[in-house]
Amino acid sequence: MSHPTSLTIMVLSDSVGGTASNVVHAALAQFPDVDYELKNFPFIREEDQLTVVLEKAKRFNAVVLHTFVDPILVETIETFCNGNEITCIDVLNPLIREVTSRTNTMPQHKPGAKHKLDDKYFNRISALEFAVQYDDGKDPKGFLEADIVILGISRTSKTPLSIYMANQGYKVANLPLMPESKLPDEIWQVDSNRMVGLTNEEEMLSNIRRERMLSYGMDPETPYSSKERIRKEIQYAEELYRKLNCQIINVSSKSIEETSAIIIDSLKNR
């Protein structure tokens, strides 16, 4: 029996719907061959609004995720979905019920309620501002203040990795490497345990750089994308990493998340 490789997923929320959308993307990342359409229906606060959207879900044979906290809307969606054989996933309420049971505390049932802005939140914002300020070696003093210093030749994902790790509260500065450029003196003052050198495969870098040039509407056949040039850059970078005695990570087969996890694990173990 054949099965469809595409589906419609509808996220219904009494607020923005970001929580359920993140769950969808995280789950569907495990199915790279499955095509899906995500439809968001935020700020549903009335039963009549909800009923209109549920009729659409019925027509599309959609998978429905919701983050309603209003008991009336929760009952409405459960009744409709059960009666029409619609797959419905309640993202929040199973945990809310468990917390209520274990703590004997009633929830607020407040749509769009946000977590309190604690020290962790403000540290993350500060780290993000730091990553932007010290991206691409804009100010060498950032290398001395950073929790993590990332080095790498062009197109080794230095900036995306820096921003991702900043979201986890780490102050990250990065420096692009070119054989012709002089290294800032501050780099030699950084503790090697706080420094990471990124590298990549020659073929992959060539393809990435060619695509980059095409996206700018330029000829992809440039010294920037030539394998000879890339080979020289990789050799320069890896020799530098050995001199600095820093951790080296080949990002060719790794996601940003995987690279970040490796760096954080290494920091914790040193």
- Binding positions for ADP are 152-159
Q: Which of 207, 209, 191, 204 is nearest to 247 (CA)?
A: 191
Q: Which of 71, 73, 67 is nearest to 51 (CA)?
A: 73
Which is it for strands 6-12 and 63-66: parallel, antiparallel or unpaired? parallel
Distance CA 254, CA 42 (A): 34
Distance CA 224, CA 221 (A): 8
How many helices and strands (H and E) does the chain possess? Answer: 10, 8
Annotated binding-site residues read 152-159
- Residue 156 has, within 13 A of its CA and on its CB side, a CA count of 29
- Residue 21 Cα distances to 9, 57, 164, 234, angstroms: 10, 16, 19, 39
SS3 131: helix
* DSSP bridge partners of 95: none
C-beta separation of 9 from 62 below 8 A: yes
Local structure of residue 177 (DSSP, 8 states)? -
Count of other CB atoms within 10 angstroms of residue 263? 21
- The owner of tokens 């419905």 is 88
C-beta separation of 170 from 182 below 8 A: no
